[in-house]
Amino acid sequence: MKRFQYSLETVLNYKTQVLDGLKKEHAAIVKNVHDKKEEIRQLNGRLMDYEDSFNETKSGGASIETYLLYDMCIERMEERIEQEEERLAALKVKEEKKKSEVIDAKVDTSKFEKLKDKRLKEYRTAEQKEEEAFVEEFVIRSMGSDIPVFRG
């Protein structure tokens, strides 16, 4: 019997490559989300530092210009944090879309993998039946040559 060959192997390989590519893209987006969260955490830390310094300055007394400078720095940091949180939200949406693409590609790829497994199982079943038929025929022929032939 000829060797097993899956007729859709090239399609399966292509689908697997697409899936691998989507997984890499998704991983990159997840990393970007993580990085953006870390950046926001750091910005919040800097904001808290500004607020702590401002509170110390208020308790010690300072000029109006110093108060205004702190106020501007705090406002700017709050605006920046808000902008980065909006970017984070956009990244999360992008990540969800890519995750959905990965899931769809995985489902598509697994269909071809299951079909390949089914065809391989059918091939092995047919191969086993063919082998059994060969053995049976061999036994019958070898038994036939051992029987004495009466010639009379």
Query: Per-residue pLDDT tens for 15-29?
Result: 999 999 999 999 999
Distance CA 116, CA 28 (A): 31
Check residue 60 and give its pLDDT.
83
Check residue 134 and give its pLDDT.
84
Below-50 pLDDT ranges, the chain: none
Paired tokens of 134: 């060969």
Check residue 61 and give its pLDDT.
82
Check residue 117 and give its pLDDT.
92
Domain boundaries, the chain: 9-108
pTM of the model: 0.71
Paired tokens of 55: 């509170």
User: 147 phi and psi, to 5 degrees?
Assistant: -80, 125
